[in-house]
Amino acid sequence: MSTSIRIVFLFLILAACTQNESRAEKERKNLKTSLAFVDVVWNKKDLKNIDQYFSNEFKRDVNNIEAATNLIELTAIFNIYFTAFPDLHFTVEQITPVDNQIFMNWNLTGTNTGVFGDVPATGKKVQINGASRLDFDEQGKITHQTIFYTELALLQQLGYVLERPKIE
């Protein structure tokens, strides 16, 4: 093998190692941000520095429905849940970083002792499981959050019931 081919080969190996190290570092940073977001925002209910975790171009989808397109809307959503469930607690069951994304399975518990939207408190406890995907920008901030959970399970635990449709 000629010297120039060896040098090119060595350069490619070094470049691949450097890229993998930066990818691993980015994944560690995104993992740290995700866990801090859960602890500070969800569990401590601290919304003062929400922009520390989220990009200004943030978007949130819940069960394939656009729920928030900016930090003001996101803050309003958190306040609805924090008012309705003052003891709300978010537990990460499993978390996996992949490139610029975090995949998370979670559990949320709380007692409905406050108004939920415009519905009076039921006093009922809820326990919901779900999954989220968080997308990060190059600065390590969340740009997109996709959440899936069974909304029907939440409503049933609050006392709502499904009725058979009336056919006339």
pLDDT at 144: 98
Q: What is the model's pLDDT at position 3?
A: 66
Long-range pairs, 112-121, Cβ under 8 A, ≥24: 112/84, 112/85, 112/158, 113/84, 113/85, 113/86, 113/87, 114/83, 114/84, 114/85, 114/86, 115/83, 115/84, 116/80, 116/83, 116/84, 116/85, 116/158, 117/80, 117/84, 119/158, 121/84
pLDDT at 66: 97
- Amino acid identity of residue 123, one-letter, is G
The CATH number of 30-157 is which of 3.40.50.620, 3.40.50.10540, 3.10.450.50, 3.40.630.30?
3.10.450.50
CA dist., res. 99 & res. 67, Å (int): 25
Q: Is the pTM of this model over 0.85?
A: no
Which pLDDT does position 117 carry in this prediction?
Answer: 83
Task: Quote the pLDDT of residue 4.
Answer: 62
How far apart are the C-alpha atoms of 160 and 17, rounded to whole Å?
55
The half-sphere exposure of 168 on its side-chain side, counting CA atoms within 13 A, is 0
pLDDT on residue 148: 98
Mapped onto helix, strand or coil, the DSSP state of residue 151 is helix
Low pLDDT (below 70) residues in the chain: 1-21
Model pLDDT, residue 23: 85
Query: What gap in Å lies between CA 84 and CA 129, rounded to an integer?
Result: 18
